[in-house]
Structure 1
Amino acid sequence: MDMFNRTGLMDKNKLFEIFEYLNERLKENQLQLEITIYGGSIMTMVYDNRPATKDIDCVFSETNDKLLNSILDITKFTFNLSDGWINEEIKEPLKAILKEDKETYKIYSNLKILKPKAEQLLAMKVLAARPEPAKDFVDAYILCKDLNITTKDKLMEIISTYIPLTFLGDRQISFIRYLGEDLGYDWK
């Protein structure tokens, strides 16, 4: 048994195995599902900056909840996943989003995986601005590098596209300043 199975973490390969398994169970039950993934699972699968994630932050499309919950329970058992491996708590912070910019990440026969564009994900990371051990700062740093953001004005433009600036408090302002500093810029 590998380290990730023992710790309940899901690395990139395990996440893809889980999604393939989910697709097969959906196909058996003649069910189509669209899932939008956020957070650590995106950073693990798309940006390769995390070795693993403990949960899949996601939102499901409207579907047969009873059947889907059964499929998720079977998946949890099959992969020895911890409670909370599917985390739909992302729905609450999504209420603060001015607009969603989603793009298709992967399509299986019965499962379609969407993800927010990098700009939206960055704005969400800044809004969350959780202290360590949360990975918001590292994720925001990687997203800034990926998006070639070198000025505070550019970052604020992206944030204001997705988040009302009135939601930015002391924690987020400090987060932005430290982010600029770590990137090598003076964002005072």
Structure 2
Amino acid sequence: MTNSNSNNIGLMDKDKLLEIFDYLNERLKENLLQLEITIYGGSIMTMVYDNRPATKDIDCVFGNTNTKLLDNILAQTKFIFNLSEGWINEEIKEPLKAILREDKETYKVYSNLKILKPRAEQLLAMKILAARPEPAKDFVDAFLLCKDLGITTKNELLTIFNNYIPLTLIGERQINFIKYLGKDLGYDWE
């Protein structure tokens, strides 16, 4: 069987992400380890919102655990699932420093693995703060989150943002992002 999507090697769709989490749970169980992981970004959008066919990495923060043992389990997972370098991305820790408060909810619970995710409002605030240009998916994600949350005014959007991130962090990039977001949603957010 040949893979016609050879350029998609390392990409994880919803099914593959769930397989990976099942595998992680089994390795954790074998090692009598409990792990709590909070996932963000593309992996959330792929698993929860079904708007992305796949993600290249899992943006996450691990709870306190035996890091040597966890690193070994993650290396096994990378090998078994043929994942690319950087498939686990803890760089999200940096933008999380700007967050006034985390608003997490449980996404999935296994015997030895608990997966948390930020609520949609927090995820939206983080997407606006990031406001990265294409090929990043911040705009598409923010659009879908606004639709999902029923946001129709700039004021509603800024109130949600301010619940999680200080308004002082909104710069020109975020302002343009918000204006285009409103336009694409069919509203005038000038």
**Letter in structure 2 aligned against 1:146:** D
Q: Cα distance 1:16–1:173, how it changes in 2: closer, same or farther (>3 A)?
A: same
For residues 43 and 145 of structure 1, the distance between their equivalents in structure 2, rounded to whole angstroms, comes to 14
Distance apart, 1:4 and its partner CA? 7.4
Q: Residue 69 of structure 1: which of 71, 88, 110 is its match? A: 71
For residues 116 and 26 of structure 1, the distance between their equivalents in structure 2, rounded to whole angstroms, comes to 23
**Letter in structure 2 aligned against 1:115:** K
Q: Residue 47 of structure 2: which of 45, 48, 57 is its match? A: 45
Tell me what 1:11 maps to.
Answer: 13
Tell me what 2:173 maps to.
Answer: 171
**Letter in structure 1 aligned against 2:143:** Y
Q: Answer yes or no: is 1:183 the counterpart of 2:185.
A: yes
- Contact in 1 for aligned 2:9/2:83 (Cα 8 Å): no
* Map 1:6-155 → 2, pairs under 5 A: 7-155=9-157
TM-score, normalized by length of structure 2?
Answer: 0.97
**Letter in structure 1 aligned against 2:135:** P
- Structure 1 counterpart SS, 2:51: coil
Distance apart, 1:5 and its partner CA? 8.8
Point out 4+ residue stretches in structure 1 off by more than 6 angstroms: none
**Aligned residues, how many?**
188
For residues 163 and 178 of structure 1, the distance between their equivalents in structure 2, rounded to whole angstroms, comes to 20
For residues 8 and 34 of structure 1, the distance between their equivalents in structure 2, rounded to whole angstroms, comes to 24
TM-score, normalized by length of structure 1?
Answer: 0.98
Give deviations 1:75-107, integer Å, cap 9, x for gaps: 000000000000000000000000000000000
Distance apart, 1:7 and its partner CA? 1.8
- Structure 1 counterpart SS, 2:61: strand
Tell me what 2:159 maps to.
Answer: 157
For residues 99 and 6 of structure 2, the distance between their equivalents in structure 1, rounded to whole angstroms, comes to 33
**Letter in structure 1 aligned against 2:179:** R
For residues 7 and 105 of structure 1, the distance between their equivalents in structure 2, rounded to whole angstroms, comes to 26
Structure 2 alignment gaps of length 5 or more: none
Give deviations 1:37-77, integer Å, cap 9, x for gaps: 00000000000000000000000000000000000000000
Q: CA RMSD, aligned part only?
A: 1.1
- Contact in 1 for aligned 2:43/2:59 (Cα 8 Å): yes
For residues 67 and 7 of structure 2, the distance between their equivalents in structure 1, rounded to whole angstroms, comes to 27
Q: Cα distance 1:95–1:8, how it changes in 2: closer, same or farther (>3 A)?
A: same
Distance apart, 1:124 and its partner CA? 0.0
For residues 186 and 69 of structure 1, the distance between their equivalents in structure 2, rounded to whole angstroms, comes to 48
